[in-house]
Chain A
Amino acid sequence: MTPLLAVDAIDKNFGAVRALSGASLTLARGEITALVGDNGAGKSTLVRCITGVQRPDGGSIRFDGEEVHFHAPEEARALGIETVYQDLALVEDLTVWQNLFLNREITRGIGPVRLLDKRAMISSAEQTLSRLAVNVPSVRSTVRRMSGGQRQSIAISRAISWGSTLVIMDEPTAALGVRETRAVEDLIRRLRDEGITVLLISHDFDQVMRLSDQVWVLRQGTVAGGRRTKDTTGEAIVAMITGVDAEKPT
């Protein structure tokens, strides 16, 4: 089966700084793939190239077998690539359902006179959250009242509620406590169970070992190697990140 996403020899320069030089990796369908690396290794730049925020200077990206050239995040989103940003992009003073439907509001009416169909959006929001077993007091509450874990879960639920096939998550549990981290990890596993491909950027090696099927290691703008998670250890990954006892890329 062709990989859902294949990044081949991507380059990206910012002036004299080479952020990415010949980075290549693949994401298998329906798997959780982790992307790890030191600060400045190029993780964020790689993600921005995949999501259309930035354009690579060289190399190619194939999504679902087709070569893609995104000029804007909307183009990536239209193909089913959703990103859960670290800041979550939630509006605190809006309700949970308003956030879930932000810029995709359901309206009804005649011609240009269209009003929000609140009932449809509320019931759909409730269905989505209950399907994913996301526990919030009420979808009618504002996000301001939600805990960090609930916010993260809402942001993830929003990302997958539009038929997306690939969800990219940047440090989804960075600011969470133990219990909330576990709830979000359970949610990420449920996404995999639903057949969604996940790209997980994480600094937490224990989490990478718990969650992922495949790990890719970025070092100095290039992919230092990839491993099946079940065939490797946290120590081996740390060694690849730091370049100590570097192994040959697979």
Chain B
Amino acid sequence: MTTATVAAPRRLDLRDPTFWSNNAALFGLIAVIIVFAILSPSFLTGGNISNMLVSATILVVLSIGQQFAIVVAGIDLSIGSNLPWAAALLGFGVTHGWNLPLSIILAIVGGTAVGVINGLIVTKLRINDFIVTLGMFGVMNGLGLLLTDANSVPVNSGFLQGLALNGLGPIQYFWLVALAVAVVAFVVLFKTKFGTHLLATGGNRDAARSMGIKVDRVRIAAYSISGLLVGIAAVLLVAHTGTADPSLQTSQLLSSIAAVVLGGSSLFGGRASIVGTVAGALLLSVLITGFTLLNISQYYQPIAVGLVVLMSAVLSRFQR
């Protein structure tokens, strides 16, 4: 009897284009680091690496949130205004005499609420993900501006400053937050029943439904997680800048999508890679920092980011 007991050995075939495209973000990151290290002697100094990682943290958290929307074959465009909205809530809490923990909770709950609403509209009213989150992008932008009268408020908090500047010895708290988010996301996606259902719902919604998976609930949960991570990113953003700024974060939105695509996930859902997404987010952050360090006009930054995304899209044609 021929059996299924023979496990396929995991071969490392360097001539296989799939190998390169599945790990495009990681190799891109290494390549970019090498190029910048050669061009700028100060690039690989401890201080600069530390700064790069800290400024990449917010994008890493946002991109993992975006990953959850994309894995169920959705997309979360509302991130661009949910991020300042949640930041504005934190500022609102602090300026209205709430204590800091309560204000942080307010920001995270506010961010999550936007995700829940996205998910409910997408599933219950059966409206396309792109349209729903584009609509919410506008609505939350307006609400954020109304809440703050379009003013950014300084948030002076020793705790938030410490969060942004200090760490456990040489390890910054920001990195720990990013690492914790990435590890939890990895475990949820690949080690739990819910994660399998996320992948199944994104990969083949009809099949998932046929097998009795409650696909609507899974999709609502995915958007809620995206919103929750936006809330956490907002707290980091306020800590990093010291202000709650209600203006749009469109470049963070586009970068979060680019990071997920760079990381090898399919925009059609069903395929995810937390390592890839984190590498994608780091790659985009390193590109921007490197350009600044080399005194290249900042107008070239979006061109480089765009080209990297296009190249990864070409590579992804070789996937599997």
- Chain A interface (Cβ < 8 Å from any Cβ of B): 73-74, 77, 85, 87-94, 96, 98, 102-103, 105, 107, 114-116, 125-126, 129-130, 133-142, 144
Contact = CB atoms under 8 A, between A and B. Distances in A.
B199 A136 contact: no
The 4 residue pairs across chains A and B that have the minimum distance between CB atoms: A130-B3, A89-B210, A89-B207, A138-B8
B197 interface: yes
Contacts of A90: 204, 207
A153 B131 CA distance: 39
Contact of A140 (B7, B199, B206, B207): B7
A87 B212 CA distance: 15
B211 interface: yes
Given A91-B270, A141-B8, A103 B211 contact: yes
A123 to B, nearest CB: 9
Given A90-B204, A91-B199, A115-B192, A102 B213 contact: yes
Contacts, number: 94
Contacts of B208: 91, 102-103
B113 interface: no
B217 to A, nearest CB: 12
Contact of A74 (B196, B212, B270, B320): B212
Where chain B touches its partner, the secondary structure class is: loop
B11 interface: no
Given A134-B4, A135-B2, A93 B203 contact: yes
A158 to B, nearest CB: 9
A126 B5 contact: yes
A114 B203 contact: no
B199 A93 contact: yes
B186 to A, nearest CB: 12
Contact of A87 (B8, B197, B203, B206): B206
